[in-house]
Amino acid sequence: MFPRNSVGLFRGNSEETKFCVSSEFPRKFLGIFRGFHFPSECPSEYRCFLVVYEYISNGTLADNLHGDQAQSRPIDWPGRLNIAIQTASALSFLHASGIIHRDVKTMNILLDSNYQVKVADFGLSRLFPPDLSHISTGPQGTPGYVDPEYYQCYRLNEKSDVYSFGVVLSELISSKKAVDITRSREDINLANMAISKIGNDSVHELADLSLGFARDPSVNRMMISVAELAFRCLQQEREARPSMDEVVKVLREIQEEGESDAPDVVEVEVRSGDEAALLKHGVPPVLSPVSEKETSGSNTTTTTSSSSRTRKSSF
């Protein structure tokens, strides 16, 4: 058993130290390592093993954004924003613990039965001593998600995860893949597309309109705010990118503002039958001409009485 609040270290075939999150490590939003499995058919000289994690029923975020589940059970905008917050919280926790994930992508973000996040696959992760500005190491990761400065300069630090998370945010906003060779040349890489569209104030050309971007003002504001955060995460210069702590803070503020923008629900009695209608924005039901005639007498009396009371109370 690994010590509480620690990571389990082991060596893979590459002799590079890697780690797994043990069941004693704080579990929230992190996929939990259960153990190793050594296949009997694997030759001993290759030291093969499988890393066993807890079972996550709803698969990967990539499946839910781009696969079959995207059609059968699409995730709405509030759900996507919640996923972004939980993923950012997991990465913030890892960075505070001196760990760089190094392979942040939608394939490594798992969703349980309640669509709660479990960040997984720490095969490329590195321990990052707090007294260092970076680690010099060969670039590794998944095309479309790799920090360009890390790729060009061989310098890894926690801002490399921030860049990758910016790509994930762009996927949540657009429902587009990180790399898609069927798109035009300049848009094959989603990070480049996002930088261009957001920088030119054309978020509507990036956003998945089915999420309510055009029809719901609250969703529109939240998606634009998240797009602006993604833009910051995707900056070429690391110094211009926020920390994961700041990312979590901004995302939570966006969520809180969105919830406060939610329209009021007003209960209005409907004359026909004993039904009651819940109306958004306090808009009353449209009465038919017959209903208007039938109730005109009582409505006139009520209106006059109400307006009189209003005028008296205003002085």
For residue 284, the model assigns a pLDDT of 43
Catalytic amino acids? Answer: 103
For residue 52, the model assigns a pLDDT of 67
For residue 271, the model assigns a pLDDT of 52
For residue 23, the model assigns a pLDDT of 43
Residue-range domain boundaries for the chain = 7-260
Residue by residue, pLDDT tens for the chain (315 residues) are 333 333 433 334 443 444 444 444 445 666 555 555 556 666 665 666 666 667 778 999 999 999 888 888 999 999 999 999 999 999 999 999 889 999 999 999 999 989 999 998 887 888 877 766 677 788 888 999 999 998 898 889 999 999 999 999 999 999 999 999 999 999 999 999 999 999 999 999 999 999 999 999 999 999 999 999 999 999 999 999 999 999 999 999 999 998 887 665 544 454 544 444 443 444 444 444 444 444 444 444 444 444 433 444 333
For residue 140, the model assigns a pLDDT of 87
Look up residue 53 and give its two tokens.
Answer: 């994690």
| Placement of tokens 């993604």 in the chain | 230
For residue 137, the model assigns a pLDDT of 83
Look up residue 123 and give its two tokens.
Answer: 């095969």
For residue 205, the model assigns a pLDDT of 97
Alpha carbon 252 to chain centroid distance? Answer: 11
Whether this prediction's pTM lies above 0.85 is answered by: no
For residue 302, the model assigns a pLDDT of 41
For residue 240, the model assigns a pLDDT of 96
CB contact at 8 A, 89 and 248: yes
For residue 175, the model assigns a pLDDT of 97
For residue 291, the model assigns a pLDDT of 44
Fold for domain 7-260?
Answer: Transferase(Phosphotransferase); domain 1 (1.10.510)
For residue 229, the model assigns a pLDDT of 98
